[in-house]
């Protein structure tokens, strides 16, 4: 065995042992980048030329796909780590944790800092030696993106543990720290990598309900009593966009959105318990809400709105949108008649249906857009899009568009502006 191969195998075994020795942060290597790196170390340790080349290719591609360097990848995974230490420290603080847990975290950070100092060019040289190549494969390198938590360039990671603990307390751990919007599917939260980027500055009209919703959301963020909200009104008025814009505005302050489909509403108690102890603040968002008679989802939402034996968490509120003022469908056949009553207390049942929307503490009404309101929205969007049509021409085209398409609404105005932008771009 050559000296170069002997040195390579020694280094590979040391790095492999460092990863195996991780007590808390082993999940750092559960991703595609981490798994391909482990596969590469195994192939190198076993002196397998062909598998080493293939494993290096997979690791290279994983880093390229993630658009991360090896350094930024490790720091990012540490920032979002979800383990026994990070979960407890975000709730209790570093000083209240068992010393064994703190010492294990420090030890893991020592190992991870050593792994972090490994240069991709060095890994490339290992592959060259094991594969007996004339030249090493290309080492992956890009300008590193800024990770959500950065250690001091030349400082000790173990000594930075108090600062890292503060990061977990402020931003949370795992998916809740990584994403600002989620959907609930198949019994778990799924992060939305590219949520709707709508901003509050892009919305106009409906000033009063918008301001009330902003005020309620600010109260929620600051830990004051906040109300569950029903946004009721005509289609296309921007109800859903307003809720999404709030999350984009206040995400840096810890606001998160969890969208729950009507078919998943029976999971609401489970969702509430999942989020209760998290440091973030949550909007449980239910879009286009309405119920049929004896709907199980109706009962589940009623429990969350009214409360149960379990106290309502102070870090969440339900925001629902609907085109119906009364969320439970009512039929003429439901109304009590003097005879042929199937139910003795039929009026009580009817009142329960009609009063369901009253269980939202705040109901915001978005009335259909009249012509002046519609034109204000069009003008606002046209300015943001940088369109330079004369005012008279813009107004005439906007009114014509509304007549021929979906009527006057914020949605119609946005569709009209999108059409004009595409038309102008094609003309150029």
Gap between the Cα atoms of 252 and 405, Å rounded? 38
Q: pTM of the prediction?
A: 0.79
| Cα→Cα distances 144→70, 154, 213, 272, 377, Å | 9, 17, 39, 37, 41
Average pLDDT of span 341-365: 59
Query: Under DSSP, is residue 362 helix (H, G, I), strand (E, B) or coil?
Result: strand
Exposure on the CB side of residue 183, measured as CA atoms within 13 A: 11
Q: What is the pLDDT of residue 349?
A: 45
Residue-wise pLDDT for 366-422, tens only, equals 888 889 998 999 999 999 888 888 989 999 999 999 888 878 888 899 999 999 999
Q: Which of 210, 226, 214, 189 is nearest to 315 (CA)?
A: 226
Q: How confident is the model at residue 332 (pLDDT cuts 50, 70, 90)?
A: very low
Neighbours of 381 (CB within 10 A): 22
Q: Which of 417, 357, 132 is nearest to 233 (CA)?
A: 357
Q: Are 406 and 236 in contact (CB under 8 A)?
A: yes
> 217: left (phi > 0), else alpha (psi -120 to 50), else beta?
alpha
DSSP structure string for 131-185: HT-SSPPPPP--PPPPPSS---TTS-TTTTHHHHHHHHHHH-SHHHHH-SEEEEE
Residue-wise pLDDT for 104-125, tens only, equals 999 999 999 999 999 999 999 9
Q: What is the pLDDT of residue 347?
A: 40
Q: What is the pLDDT of residue 328?
A: 47
Q: Are strands 362-366 and 229-233 parallel, antiparallel or unpaired?
A: parallel
Q: What is the pLDDT of residue 348?
A: 45
Q: Are strands 362-366 and 316-322 parallel, antiparallel or unpaired?
A: unpaired
Q: What is the pLDDT of residue 355?
A: 53
Residue % of the chain over a pLDDT of 90: 58
| Cα→Cα distances 312→225, 227, 271, Å | 11, 11, 12
Neighbours of 223 (CB within 10 A): 10
pLDDT at residue 66 greater than cutoff 90: yes
Residue % of the chain over a pLDDT of 70: 87
Q: How confident is the model at residue 173 (pLDDT cuts 50, 70, 90)?
A: very high
pLDDT at residue 145 greater than cutoff 90: no
Q: What is the pLDDT of residue 354?
A: 45
Exposure on the CB side of residue 176, measured as CA atoms within 13 A: 27
Gap between the Cα atoms of 47 and 9, Å rounded? 8
Gap between the Cα atoms of 398 and 412, Å rounded? 9
Q: What is the pLDDT of residue 389?
A: 87
Q: Which two tokens stand for residue 403?
A: 């007549």
Residue length, the chain? 428
Average pLDDT of span 143-168: 91
In degrees, rounded to 5, the angle at the alpha carbon of residue 76 between the alpha carbons of residues 72 and 82 is 155
Residue-wise pLDDT for 211-243, tens only, equals 999 999 999 999 888 999 999 888 888 899 999
Residue-wise pLDDT for 285-306, tens only, equals 998 887 555 556 666 677 667 6
Gap between the Cα atoms of 359 and 299, Å rounded? 12
Q: Which has the minimum average pLDDT: 8-17, 152-161, 268-277, 355-364?
A: 355-364
Q: Which residues pair with 386 in a beta bridge?
A: none
Q: What is the pLDDT of residue 330?
A: 47
Q: What is the pLDDT of residue 216?
A: 96
Q: Which two tokens stand for residue 340?
A: 């042929």
Gap between the Cα atoms of 70 and 35, Å rounded? 13
Residue-wise pLDDT for 5-63, tens only, equals 999 999 999 999 999 999 999 999 999 999 999 999 999 999 999 999 999 999 999 99
Q: What is the mean pLDDT of the chain?
A: 87
Q: What is the pLDDT of residue 40?
A: 97
Helices (H), 196-324: 207-221, 239-250, 268-275, 296-306
Q: What is the pLDDT of residue 70?
A: 95
Q: Are 409 and 235 in contact (CB under 8 A)?
A: yes
Average pLDDT of span 354-362: 68
């Amino acid at each position: 065995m050559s000296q170069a191969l002997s040195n390579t195998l020694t280094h590979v075994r040391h790095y492999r042992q460092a990863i195996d020795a991780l007590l808390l942060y082993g999940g750092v290597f559960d991703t595609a980048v981490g798994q391909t790196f482990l596969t590469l170390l195994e192939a190198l340790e076993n002196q397998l030329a062909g598998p080493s080349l293939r494993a290096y290719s997979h690791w290279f591609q994983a880093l390229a796909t993630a658009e991360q360097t090896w350094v930024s990848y490790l720091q990012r995974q540490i920032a979002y780590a979800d383990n026994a230490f990070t979960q407890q420290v975000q709730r209790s603080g570093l000083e209240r944790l068992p010393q064994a847990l703190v010492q294990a975290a420090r030890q893991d950070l020592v190992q991870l800092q050593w792994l972090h100092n490994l240069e991709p060019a060095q890994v490339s040289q290992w592959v060259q030696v094991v594969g007996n190549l004339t030249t090493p494969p290309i080492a992956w390198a890009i300008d590193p993106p800024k990770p959500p938590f950065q250690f001091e360039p030349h400082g000790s990671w173990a000594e930075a543990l108090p600062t890292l603990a503060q990061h977990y307390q402020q931003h949370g751990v795992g998916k809740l720290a990584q994403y600002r919007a989620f959907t609930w599917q198949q019994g778990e939260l799924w992060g939305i990598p590219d949520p709707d980027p709508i901003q509050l500055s892009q919305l106009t009209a409906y000033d009063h309900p918008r301001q009330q919703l902003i005020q309620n959301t600010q109260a929620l963020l600051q830990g004051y009593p906040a109300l569950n909200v029903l946004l009721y009104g005509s289609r296309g008025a921007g109800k859903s966009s307003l809720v999404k814009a709030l999350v984009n505005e206040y995400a840096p302050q810890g606001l998160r959105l969890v969208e729950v489909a009507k078919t998943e509403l029976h999971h609401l108690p489970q969702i509430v318990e999942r989020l209760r102890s998290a440091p973030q603040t949550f909007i449980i968002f239910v879009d286009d809400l309405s119920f049929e008679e004896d709907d199980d989802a109706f009962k589940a939402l009623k429990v969350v709105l009214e409360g149960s034996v379990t106290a309502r968490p102070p870090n969440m509120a339900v925001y629902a949108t609907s085109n119906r003022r009364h969320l439970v469908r009512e039929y003429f056949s439901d109304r009590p008649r003097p005879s042929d009553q199937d139910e003795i207390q039929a009026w009580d049942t009817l009142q329960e249906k009609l009063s369901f929307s009253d269980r939202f503490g705040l109901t915001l009404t978005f009335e259909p857009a009249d012509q002046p309101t519609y034109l204000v929205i069009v003008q606002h969007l046209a300015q943001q899009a940088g369109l330079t049509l004369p005012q008279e021409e813009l107004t005439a085209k906007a009114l014509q568009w509304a007549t021929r398409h979906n009527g006057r609404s914020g949605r119609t105005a946005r569709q009209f502006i999108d059409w004009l932008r595409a038309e102008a771009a094609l003309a150029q």
